[in-house]
Protein backbone atom coordinates (compact mmCIF):
# COMPACT_ATOMS: atom_id res chain seq x y z
CA UNK A 1 0.00 0.00 0.00
CA UNK A 2 2.65 2.48 1.04
CA UNK A 3 5.18 1.20 -1.51
CA UNK A 4 2.51 1.64 -4.17
CA UNK A 5 2.00 5.24 -3.00
CA UNK A 6 5.76 5.83 -2.98
CA UNK A 7 5.97 4.67 -6.62
CA UNK A 8 3.05 6.88 -7.60
CA UNK A 9 4.71 10.02 -6.25
CA UNK A 10 6.50 11.77 -9.12
CA UNK A 11 10.04 13.05 -9.13
CA UNK A 12 13.31 12.13 -7.50
CA UNK A 13 13.69 10.68 -4.07
CA UNK A 14 14.03 14.01 -2.23
CA UNK A 15 10.91 15.27 -3.99
CA UNK A 16 9.03 12.15 -2.88
CA UNK A 17 10.17 12.69 0.69
CA UNK A 18 8.86 16.26 0.67
CA UNK A 19 5.56 15.16 -0.84
CA UNK A 20 5.22 12.41 1.76
CA UNK A 21 5.80 14.87 4.60
CA UNK A 22 3.17 17.21 3.18
CA UNK A 23 0.68 14.33 2.92
CA UNK A 24 1.38 13.29 6.52
CA UNK A 25 0.95 16.90 7.68
CA UNK A 26 -2.38 17.20 5.89
CA UNK A 27 -3.56 13.93 7.39
CA UNK A 28 -2.59 15.01 10.92
CA UNK A 29 -4.35 18.35 10.48
CA UNK A 30 -7.49 16.61 9.30
CA UNK A 31 -7.36 14.21 12.26
CA UNK A 32 -6.65 16.75 14.98
CA UNK A 33 -8.90 19.53 13.73
CA UNK A 34 -11.86 17.58 12.41
CA UNK A 35 -11.94 13.85 13.08
CA UNK A 36 -10.82 13.67 16.73
CA UNK A 37 -13.07 16.46 18.05
CA UNK A 38 -15.97 14.80 16.27
CA UNK A 39 -15.02 11.35 17.62
CA UNK A 40 -14.95 12.78 21.13
CA UNK A 41 -18.58 13.82 20.90
CA UNK A 42 -19.64 10.49 19.41
CA UNK A 43 -17.72 8.17 21.72
CA UNK A 44 -18.95 9.70 24.96
CA UNK A 45 -22.71 9.62 25.24
CA UNK A 46 -24.58 11.03 28.22
CA UNK A 47 -23.58 9.04 31.33
CA UNK A 48 -25.98 7.63 33.90
CA UNK A 49 -27.07 10.27 36.35
CA UNK A 50 -25.53 10.46 39.80
CA UNK A 51 -22.86 12.73 41.11
Partner 1 sequence: MSNTELPDGTTIRWAPVKSRPKTSKVLVFGELLLTFGILLGLFAAYQVFIQDEVVGTKQTELAKEFGAGIPDKEFTNPELAKSVGQVFARMYVPRFGSDWTRLVAEGTRWHPVLNEIGVGHYVNSALPGEAGNFAVAAHRGGFGASFKNIHQLVEGDRVYVETNDYWYVYKYLQTKVVEPTEVGVIDSVPVGLDVGQQGGKYMTMTSCTPIFVNTHRIIVWLELEKQIPSSAGKPKELVEVP
Binding site for partner 1 (CB under 8 A): 1-4, 28, 31-32, 36-37, 39-41, 44, 46-47, 50-51
Tell me how far apart the alpha carbons of residues 17 and 11 are, in angstroms, rounded to a whole number: 10
Q: How far is the CB of 20 from partner 1 (least distance, A)?
A: 14
Q: Which is nearer to partner 1, 25 or 37 (CB)?
A: 37
Give the gyration radius of the chain's Cα atoms: 19
Q: How far is the CB of 25 from partner 1 (least distance, A)?
A: 13
Residues in CB range of 16: below 8 A, 6 or more apart:
6, 9, 10
Amino acid sequence: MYSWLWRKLPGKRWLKVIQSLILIGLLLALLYLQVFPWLNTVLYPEPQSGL
